Amino acid sequence: MPIPDYQSIMLPLLKYAKDQKEHSLREAIEALADEFTLSDNERKELLSSGQQAVFDNRVGWAKTYLKNAGLFETTRRAFFKITDRGLELLKQNPKEINVKFLRQQYPEIIEFLTAKKDKYDNTEIQIDKTDEKTPQESLEHTYQKIKRDLAQDLLDRVKNCSPTFLEKLVVELLLKMGYGGSRKDAGMAVGQSGDGGIDGIINEDKLGLDNIYIQAKKWEVTVGRPEIQKFVGALEGRRAKRGIFITTSDFSKDAEEYVSRIDKKVVLIDGEKLAQLMIDNDVGVSKETSYEIKRIDSDYFDG
């Protein structure tokens, strides 16, 4: 089944704690994963940041909401227990518990859901009461959307630049990723070969222990298998083992399947991936704003 949203987890989590025993969050996560019959892949699925499992995050937020409504209490680090209020709610046999229900029943939750007015700009920020995503998921979703929009704008800019600029961009990107040795060596290597499908040769590491052969082209149409085969043939002529094919367009499924079956290691970088790599490695972009997500340092309070 699909991974349940955090509001759907609230009632099962409250029922899980009805034995009035102290429970760890990890135990609750495993028990609820079994109750929802989640597959191994669903249990391991990560948030877009790659820092936490989606289900773990949703159980954690469900617990946070229940705690702020006074239905749970924290007993010690990463442990919780149902309160008398929580037991009383279970006696009412609710059909579901969600944010709307908590707002209607428990005034304490309002303070948690609504930020106090900022003394400087007098604005008020509210968490979306109907959103099925946790606050952290909503933040990551917004971040990914901003990143996708930036990547599209970035790719449009690259497509309008000259082939010489693309070669310069490739040099900058590979250097930022740790390839190519010095900037001088990399700049001399890329764009100088032009030999049988090879646009450049760059060191795999700063010591030059191995070479990577490159083709970087501005294309508008999908790059098919024939072009990749030509590139692989050029690699064979150089007795090369590794190659990178970069395009501002995309690759056909046949081309992707072809490189997955050959012995040589050939990496295909399409326009979308090129733009994402540029963003990740700060090529052609500058940092505008940075936000840090912090959590309680339990070790500090245990000391």
* Element spanning 289, H or E: none
On whether residue 95 sits in a domain, the answer given is: yes
Are 113 and 214 in a shared domain?
no
d(CA 171, CA 27): 50
Domain count, the chain: 2
Query: Which tens digits make up the pLDDT trace of 93-141?
Result: 999 999 999 999 998 888 777 643 333 344 333 444 445 678 788 888 7
d(CA 232, CA 61): 50
Q: What is the pTM of this model?
A: 0.60
On whether residue 297 sits in a domain, the answer given is: no
Are 275 and 178 in a shared domain?
yes
Query: Residue 50: what pLDDT?
Result: 79
d(CA 38, CA 35): 8
Are 120 and 162 in a shared domain?
no
Are 209 and 114 in a shared domain?
no
Query: Which pLDDT band holds residue 175 (cuts at 50, 70, 90)?
Result: confident
On whether residue 113 sits in a domain, the answer given is: yes
Q: What is the average pLDDT value for the chain, to the nearest integer?
A: 83
Are 112 and 208 in a shared domain?
no
Average pLDDT over residues 41-62: 90
Distances (CA, A) of 8 to 26, 32, 63, 253: 18, 11, 12, 39
Query: Which has more confidence, 290 or 96?
Result: 96
Label each residue of 183-225 as H, E or C. Answer: HHHHHHHEEEEEECCEEEEEECCCCCCCEEEEEEECCCCCECH
Are 24 and 125 in a shared domain?
yes
On whether residue 23 sits in a domain, the answer given is: yes
Task: State the CATH number of the domain containing residue 196.
Answer: 3.40.1350.10
On whether residue 212 sits in a domain, the answer given is: yes
Are 96 and 215 in a shared domain?
no
- Please state the φ and ψ torsions of residue 291, each to the nearest 5 degrees: -120, 140
Are 124 and 232 in a shared domain?
no
Query: Which pLDDT band holds residue 234 (cuts at 50, 70, 90)?
Result: confident
On whether residue 248 sits in a domain, the answer given is: yes
On whether residue 145 sits in a domain, the answer given is: no
Query: Residue 301: what pLDDT?
Result: 66
- Structural domain that includes position 55: 6-133
Are 195 and 240 in a shared domain?
yes
Are 168 and 242 in a shared domain?
yes
On whether residue 293 sits in a domain, the answer given is: no
Query: Which has more confidence, 30 or 160?
Result: 30
Are 167 and 252 in a shared domain?
yes
Query: Which pLDDT band holds residue 181 (cuts at 50, 70, 90)?
Result: low
Q: Which two tokens stand for residue 43?
A: 């249990």
Are 179 and 124 in a shared domain?
no
**Residue length of the chain:** 303
